């Protein structure tokens, strides 16, 4: 199977880069190709803010291999070029927009949802569990918009996987266009490979969303430092979820991300 990784950051060294101090496309491919990954959704790294150029350059240099989730400023609701900015990003291969809780009250957020919906671009919230009710409200207002929740809403980031948080996330399954990234295992629960403490939560997500609305992602480069590996992230879905059949694994490891982002 040719896998699709739904969440990877790439960036050049310098300029306030996080740890590790660089993660170029070449660095990414050195991890992804041996793991059987042939397509990747690139996610705008926060230290580049709204300058998506490094990431979008990778799409041009590697046609068909990458898709992009970009960042766009929505602070000014009268911003005259937001329509043009969205259209330009879509033309360059953007298939999703990064949003977070800090921007939900921005006057331009509703406008961005409308533009994204019209362009077929997914909204991709990076949030903690306490923001899930707000996402529920947005999904109710924009039922046709694809929404992709990053990193299982970071449930377990504190070390505790709370059932009440899982119920909130599973509650969004009532919106047929909501998807969840099964990802960032290094940062959740016990934060130790092989990440088996995450298995019950993933099983709940499979039961409520079905595999066709779940997508695996590594969150590299953060998945490949501090004792974690890219291979361990793939392996959790590939061989340590006994409740999945081969078709389920194909959806989670490849087909869902391809359907939404490619």
Q: What pLDDT shows up at residue 249?
A: 98
CB within 8 A of 104, min separation 6: which ones? 131, 134, 138
**For residues 45 and 30, what is the distance between their CA atoms, to the nearest angstrom?**
19
**For residues 208 and 39, what is the distance between their CA atoms, to the nearest angstrom?**
26
Q: What pLDDT shows up at residue 195?
A: 98
Are 187 and 162 within 8 A, CB to CB? no
CB-side exposure of 126: number of CA atoms within 13 Å? 17
Q: C-alpha dihedral over 129, 134, 135, 139, to 10 degrees?
A: 150
Look at domain 3-261 and name its CATH class: alpha beta
State the alpha helices, DSSP H only, in 6-148.
25-32, 53-61, 82-91, 109-119, 132-141
Query: Percent of the chain having pLDDT more than 90?
Result: 90
Chain-centroid distance, C-alpha 240: 21
- pLDDT (tens digit, 9 = 90+) per residue, 138-193? 999 999 999 999 999 999 999 999 999 999 999 999 999 999 999 999 999 999 99
Q: Is the pLDDT of residue 217 over 90?
A: yes
Q: What pLDDT shows up at residue 14?
A: 84
Residue 84 has φ and ψ, to the nearest 5°, of -65, -40
Q: What pLDDT shows up at residue 88?
A: 94
Are 129 and 104 within 8 A, CB to CB? no
pLDDT-derived band at 106 (thresholds 50, 70, 90) equals: confident
- pLDDT (tens digit, 9 = 90+) per residue, 50-103? 999 999 999 999 999 999 999 988 655 556 788 999 999 999 999 999 999 888
């Amino acid at each position: 199977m040719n896998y699709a990784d739904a969440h990877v950051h790439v960036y050049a060294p310098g300029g306030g880069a996080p740890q590790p101090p660089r993660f170029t496309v070449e660095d990414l491919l050195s991890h992804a190709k041996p793991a059987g990954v042939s397509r990747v959704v690139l996610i705008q790294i926060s230290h580049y803010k709204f300058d998506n150029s490094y990431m979008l350059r990778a799409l041009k240099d590697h046609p068909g291999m990458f898709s992009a989730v970009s960042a766009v400023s929505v602070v000014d609701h009268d911003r005259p070029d937001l329509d043009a900015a969205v259209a330009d990003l879509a033309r360059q291969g953007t298939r999703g927009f990064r949003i977070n809780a800090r921007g939900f009250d921005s006057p331009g957020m509703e406008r961005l949802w409308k533009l994204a919906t019209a362009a077929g671009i997914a909204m991709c919230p990076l949030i903690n569990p306490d923001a899930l009710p707000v996402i529920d409200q947005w999904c109710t207002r924009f039922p046709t918009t694809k929404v992709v929740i990053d990193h299982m809403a970071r449930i377990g980031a504190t070390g505790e996987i709370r059932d009440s948080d899982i119920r909130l996330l599973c509650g969004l399954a009532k919106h047929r266009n909501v998807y969840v990234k099964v990802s960032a295992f290094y940062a959740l629960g016990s934060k130790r490979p092989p990440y088996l403490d995450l298995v019950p939560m993933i099983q709940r997500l499979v039961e409520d969303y079905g595999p066709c609305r779940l997508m695996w992602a590594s969150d590299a480069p953060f998945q490949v430092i501090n004792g974690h590996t890219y291979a361990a992230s793939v392996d959790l879905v590939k061989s340590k979820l006994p409740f999945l059949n081969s078709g389920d694994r194909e959806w989670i490891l490849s087909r869902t991300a391809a359907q939404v982002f490619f």
